[in-house]
Amino acid sequence: MRYAIDHFSNFDKNLLFWLERFIYSKINSLSNHQVKNKDEILKVLAKFRGGFESIESLQNTCKECRNIGLIGVNTYIIPLVRLYEYLTHLGLESLKNVDEELLKEFLTIHTSALSDATKKNYRMALLNFFGFVDKQNEDAQGTSYNFRITLKNWGGLRGKSGQKLPSFMNEEEVHRFINGINNFVFKHQDLGARNRLLLKIIIYTGIRVGEALGLKLKDIMQDGEFYLIQVRGKGNKPRVVILKAKNINEDLVLWKSARDTMQVEDDLLFCNHKGKKLTQAYVSRIVEQVLLHNGIRKEKNGAHMLRHSFATLLYQKSQDLVLVQESLGHASLDTSRIYMHFDKQKLKDTTEIMEH
């Protein structure tokens, strides 16, 4: 059903109305492969159909969506809540008062301290939202109002030449980190085996933290001297990664022994002492602890830095960008090209150009 652009005479209420309709449409299109309880989705959808009295209630319901497994909703709700707060303080009378320049001003003010990746998410959220309203509004005469927002010339993004390269460990630091995993004293012996196994799988294969935490026991299979791990990547796309059995055997045996005494949710390979899924924040904390304990300091000490370290070494040793793409599960080869910037040997080769 279509509604007039100013369905309500009150600007705040009208903007909230369109935001809840947009988020509702996005929830129905998000990947639900991480959702375990389908009844929870039905409850959330019912709340959207009933409408919201405030932006806070909409935001809280979106948090529920994320908690039940619809994690992609944050890409939209965070920027749009900021937009709501910004626009409702301007005293506008109609949604028709919102134009390209006003949105550029919002982006400039609210994304100045954010990374380029986050800025792109903000821009995408605005384009998606106003594109949705363009298609869904219609007045009594059958006429639609079109914002035609493009944000093509917004100068907030530095562009590829200005992007910061991700933090990573060099080969010596990687070996020191792996040794540090083995020597680090965790509070509980059985959870120590779990943590060592988790960190080793990430650093030896380069899989994303979320992919590692979503692994099930059946996803890891021994094949002679190797372990094959079935990974479900972004968009639920499957791929297989491989690592040497000798690197994780001891920790895997210890952890499986402890895990067998627990009631584990959804056959997860990694879980807390209650059998529940671990959080990415927890993994980043233990990565930082091991790094600092071994004197390794990076601009970003989070768990995702392990993935960058794996990819950097893989490209340096193989010189095969396609192999990097396949190993990391990148949809596009362009995403993998960032690791070419770390190839010091190619840079050293440039010093020979003027030699004679």
3-state SS assignment for residue 223: strand
The closest alpha carbon to 204, from 190, 218, 216, 220, belongs to 220
User: Residue 245 CB: number of other CB atoms within 10 A?
Assistant: 14
3-state SS assignment for residue 312: helix
- 317 annotated active-site: no
Q: Is there a contact between 226 and 247 (Cβ–Cβ < 8 Å)? A: no
- 194 annotated active-site: no
Identify the active-site residue in 119, 208, 259, 308.
208
Identify the active-site residue in 2, 96, 234, 344.
234
Identify the active-site residue in 307, 308, 337, 344.
307
Amino acid identity at 52? F
The closest alpha carbon to 278, from 255, 244, 254, belongs to 255
Contacts of 150 (CB under 8 A, 6+ apart): 100, 127
Q: Is there a contact between 262 and 273 (Cβ–Cβ < 8 Å)? A: yes
What whole-number distance in Å separates Cα of residue 184 and Cα of residue 286?
A: 10
Length of the chain: 356
Identify the active-site residue in 21, 123, 194, 304.
304
Compute CA distances 27 → 50, 61, 85, 220, whole Å: 15, 11, 22, 31
3-state SS assignment for residue 228: strand
The closest alpha carbon to 264, from 247, 256, 252, 276, belongs to 276
Angle, helices 38-50 vs 11-27, to 10°: value is 160
Identify the active-site residue in 104, 119, 200, 330.
330
Identify the active-site residue in 76, 84, 227, 339.
339
- 307 annotated active-site: yes
Compute CA distances 42 → 23, 27, 72, whole Å: 15, 11, 17
- 341 annotated active-site: no
Compute CA distances 78 → 55, 59, 95, 109, 247, whole Å: 11, 8, 20, 15, 40
Annotated catalytic residues are 208, 234, 304, 307, 330, 339
